[in-house]
Amino acid sequence: MSDSLYPADETPGFDLGEPPAPAKSDAYRVLARKYRPQTFAELIGQDAMVTTLGNAIRRGRLAHAFLLTGVRGVGKTSTARLLAKALNCIGPDGQGGPTINPCGVCEPCVGIAEGRHIDVIEMDAASHTGVDDMRAVIDASRMTAFVARYKIYIIDEVHMLSKNAFNALLKTLEEPAEGVKFVLATTEVNKVPVTVLSRCQRFDLRRIPADLLAEHFARVVAAEGVEAEPEALGLIARAAEGSARDGLSILDQAIAHADMDGGAVSAGAVRDMLGLSDRGAIRDLMMLLLAGDGIGALAALRRQYDLGVDPLGVLRGLLETVHATTLVKLGAQQEAGQATEEREALLDWASSLSFAALHRLWQLLLKGHDEVARAAMPIEACEMALLRLVHASTLPDPGELARMISTGVPLNAAAPAPAAAAAPAAPVASAAAALEEADLPRSISQIVALLEGSGELALASRVVHHASIVSLDGSDLVLSSARPISPDLVAELAITLKRVTGRAWKVTTAPTPGAPTVREAEAAQREAFKAEILATPVIAAALEAFPDAEVPESEIDRLLAAKRSMTA
């Protein structure tokens, strides 16, 4: 009799069957990891390094130790992994050798990309700083690679190693075992001992230019199926400060922010997210500062502050504007993708502000930035800095101040005084006999000629480029301020004309549009003359017969000069 209470075929079992498999969840990978470069071709902004490595691999001139340095997020660790793949790639058929274009499908390439290859050892020096950690690496490096062509040690943030750890590594770094390579990466190369630097082939990875980052981000959002405004991508690229990883992290955040607002990444949303000041608002504030409108400037600053913009961000925006204006004045190429309004504003400021005025603006803003960074009340400190800028805009530069003191001209002559407070200045001895009313210049061109004849070539050049005349009545000259004009130009012109003509001049400005400047008039005259030349029957027929032919600009200038000399 069986001890079981159930027949053999009816014994209850405990096998409840296979448990249902949990639903697989596709974990989200942040953009900085998802779009990590997998080939050297995808490594943006490091063309020089890629070329050097490619030549070294093709010629078989491979160093035994490499040092990669650069700011965060420019691709140091990615380059180290790509270098490991390039040296160990065997190709899809298993017969390949080291190449600057690893296949990405062979076992070494896949294993290295997934971080599981036994012969590519990555370690973080920040958590392995001691000499015992280096001894373990040294002992392991004496053995050749198990399955790969090279055993490669990637030591990230190598500057974190202790002095003793560096000393322990020196001999192995100089003469490693056959088939062993070291790739060191650091953001602070100045902390790496020179004895280590001398044993490595060094590559300095550059900050990635903002335009390349913006193009990269455009490809990323296209791959992600997200719409983004070009201006928004430009803002993110500039905020990244040359770091692809930082930029992708910001872009990740911007896409998440945009999902709540229609799905498109807009420039306004990026500004709000980053706390950036609107570039248009910065231009408006700059105009108010140059116009000497203190009340308007403070109101504009407060509007930005109420929107959440940091006062330091406003001052940084003004500093960037002054810097960009100075570059335009020098004739440097303007930033690609720049808005038309910004381009026109920079051109106007560059034409109306002298280098001395721009340098003074820069110094005042820089001083204000430092004060706000240390201030207990940042917004109040920023307001005081802007007010200092407003009042300094009407002061003469140091050279003009010295000239005023030497000639005895009162300082309040540098800026037009209110009509009610105007009073005749004390007589000042003049270097020239006073001209009669009839002998005074009657046009801006004659004023330029008078200044050139008196040796005031620099002032004459500024008048040629920036002075737009509204009216000229004897010694009463009104210039247009419809577009920016430097106050020190107005003051210097009044003082110099008084000295040259021996008569007191009243030089003021009015917001009325004036006549073209001398330079603009000359340019218009030249274009009209050029059109006249090209319209002559002989030239027109020649150009029609030979469409690729053209009249040299130098020949146009020569003919125009000849015409002017005949009519003079």
Highest mean pLDDT among 148-162, 387-401, 442-456: 148-162
Digit-coded pLDDT (tens) for 192-232: 999 999 999 999 998 898 889 999 999 999 998 888 988 88
pLDDT at 394 over 60: no
Top CATH class of 279-392 equals mainly alpha
Category of 263 on φ-ψ map: left (φ > 0), alpha (ψ -120 to 50) or beta = left
Digit-coded pLDDT (tens) for 26-83: 677 889 888 989 888 888 988 888 999 989 988 888 899 999 999 888 989 999 999 9
Per-residue pLDDT band for 421 (boundaries 50, 70, 90) equals very low
- Greater confidence (264 vs 404) lies with 264
Mean pLDDT taken over the chain? 82
Digit-coded pLDDT (tens) for 99-138: 999 999 999 999 999 889 999 999 988 888 888 888 888 8
- Greater confidence (377 vs 413) lies with 377
Range 424-439 average pLDDT: 54
pLDDT at 429 over 50: no
- Specify the range with the lowest mean pLDDT, choosing from 229-238, 254-263, 307-316, 505-514: 254-263
How is domain 210-274 classified at the architecture level of CATH? Orthogonal Bundle (1.10)
pLDDT at 144: 84
pLDDT at 315 over 90: yes
Distance set, CA 280 to CA 145, 254, 314, 323 (Å):
59, 21, 12, 16
| Phi, psi dihedrals of residue 231, rounded to the nearest 5° | -65, -35
What would the two tokens of residue 263 be? 């799905």
pLDDT at 422: 36
Domain 31-204 bears CATH identifier 3.40.50.300 = yes
pLDDT at 413: 45
Alpha helix segments (H runs only) across 13-92: 31-34, 47-59, 76-88
Q: Locate the domains of the chain by residue range.
A: 31-204, 210-274, 279-392, 398-413+432-515, 519-567
* Other beta carbons less than 10 A from residue 389's beta carbon: 22
pLDDT at 499 over 90: no
Measure the CA–CA gap between 184 and 125, rounded to whole angstroms. Answer: 10
Element (H, E) at 298: helix 294-306
DSSP codes joined into one string, 445-469: HHHHHHHHHTT-HHHHHHHHHH--E
Distance set, CA 345 to CA 6, 38, 182, 304, 353 (Å):
96, 43, 52, 20, 12
Alpha helix segments (H runs only) across 454-517: 457-466, 487-501
